[in-house]
Amino acid sequence: MVAVLVGLKLRLLRNALRQSVWRVVGLVLALAYGVFLVGLAVVGLVALRFTQVEVGPDVVVVGLTALTVGWTLIPLLAFGMDDTLDPGRFALLPLRAREVLPGFVVSSLVGVPGVATILVAAASGVFWATGILPAVAASIGAVLGVFTSVVLARVVTTGLGGLLGGRRFRDGAAGIVAILASMSGIGLGLVTQAIQRTPNMGELLAGLASIAGWTPFGWAWSLPADVTAGRVGLAAAKLGLAAALLASLLRAWEAMLDRRLTSPIEARGGGERVGRGVRVDRLVGTTQAGAVAGRCLRYWRRDPRYVTSVAMFLILPIVLVVSMSLPRSGPTGLDALPVQFLAPLTLAMLVGLSTCQDLAYDGTAVWTHLTTGVTGRADRVGRLIALAAVVMPLFLVLEVTAAAVSGRWDLLLPSCSVGLAAILGGAGVASWIGAMLQSPAAPAGANPFRTSNGGGLQAMIATSVTLAATGLLALPALGLAWAGLTQTWAAIATPIASLGIGLGALVVGINAGGAYLDGHWPQVLANVSEKRA
């Protein structure tokens, strides 16, 4: 069964690459990026092995623990988890979860992230190969660490995806994530303070390695470090914990597979009261753009994928504001500047990411645009109206909060100007890029953290280009705002230039993206429709 599922995934990926040249480009870029990162990791591990740096073991333990943390968080924050082999597609076959579980585990490693993780884990064995026992412990720890990373990511994304499918959880998801983000921001600030107050980096790394080794993310990776240091009893305890953790995660994933194999139909969410829908229609109007905006506003309320986006809008800005508001040692003259400018700019970056993939969330419903003659420009404008209704109140609250935290109310106007230039510019760029590059997204009501058939590769191109262009558009406004701290002319020019840059990029993006859609609606429909073979 393992060979069958791995072969099936390879064939599905091959077919997906044949359907779009952009997916081939995305795969090539992902491979190049993976080779670069793996090359750096391997060279670093080998260098640490033969230079015998005193802090080498601590660096390896912390780095590999961070790798497992990345497997858990990145699918939630970025491109999702590859779900080419959707378990629901096997529901008609006489298969049990226990029979297909090994195949799903191994096939999850088929891809750039999985292969990169295996290579890094193998390179760590070179570092620990100072004796028979450390080498054996490194081999066991690498196997446990790799499989724990993959299975943990699957359990977290599948579990949270199931929770977001429930209406009661969706209604409070953004608030819950905001609270968790605030807590993580405080933790980040405390870690930053610890780094600033610790003059000896060796002691700091030793402390971080000790903490990482006692977390579930680092149990497996710290085994060879304990064996090398002669802590055999401690290594045996961590081995038992790591094995028990992997067994528990496998059992949890098996239970989730059981549900998917017997209940393949995914929830589509609850309905909406008629009165609320009428109010939305009156608010946005009955034009083509208004109809698109009204539908998207309903999505922002009811669709788990949009609820996830709102949560992402809250996470990073709150983390930045909370962490930067903590007391710091040393001069504080410029401490207000990062709080005032960086948090709103982060929100602006996330706005572009959400906009460039908005069409994919429609899926096969894009056919309604073809049959009703919706123009590309109306589509672009309508989606931006809905996005503005969600983002702009959050942006204003974030700006006022940042000013209150930093105590620099004099920076409120330049900060708003820079943030507005980035938001409008990012929305314009994303309106253009999103019209040209689409990939299938998880269906409505499905797990919002999954991708399929290599769609994540194309999404990576779109989001990378959008992020880079948004940053470039914000640079002139940011430079003027910085100069405006000391120059009156620059302070006056900042809001004017920011508004001009943002509106200019927005108009160009809407018109260019709309014109492209008008000539490529059938192709867009094919791109956003999830392929099953």
The string of pLDDT tens digits covering residues 214-234 is 889 999 999 998 888 888 889
Q: What is the pLDDT of residue 16?
A: 73
Q: What is the pLDDT of residue 404?
A: 78
Which DSSP state fits 480?
H
Q: What is the pLDDT of residue 331?
A: 40
Which DSSP state fits 453?
T
Distance CA 195, CA 210 (A): 15
Mean pLDDT calculated for residue range 332-361: 70
Q: What is the pTM of this model?
A: 0.64
Distance CA 29, CA 283 (A): 43
Q: What is the pLDDT of residue 284?
A: 65
The single residue listed with the structure tokens 């740096």 is 53
Contact criterion met (CB below 8 Å) for 390 and 310: yes
Which DSSP state fits 80?
-
How distant, in Å, are the alpha carbons of 50, 223, 248 from that of 241?
31, 11, 10
Q: What is the pLDDT of residue 251?
A: 92
Mean pLDDT calculated for residue range 7-31: 77
CA neighbor of 115 nearest in space, from 127, 107, 125, 126 = 107
Structure confidence by residue, pLDDT tens digits, 153-196:
888 877 776 665 555 554 455 455 555 555 555 555 556 555 55
Q: What is the pLDDT of residue 447?
A: 56
The single residue listed with the structure tokens 């780095």 is 63
CB half-sphere exposure, 478, CA atoms < 13 A: 16
Q: What is the pLDDT of residue 272?
A: 47
Q: Which two tokens stand for residue 97?
A: 């979860």
Q: What is the pLDDT of residue 312?
A: 65
* Neighbouring residues of 392: CB distance < 8 A, sequence distance ≥ 6: none
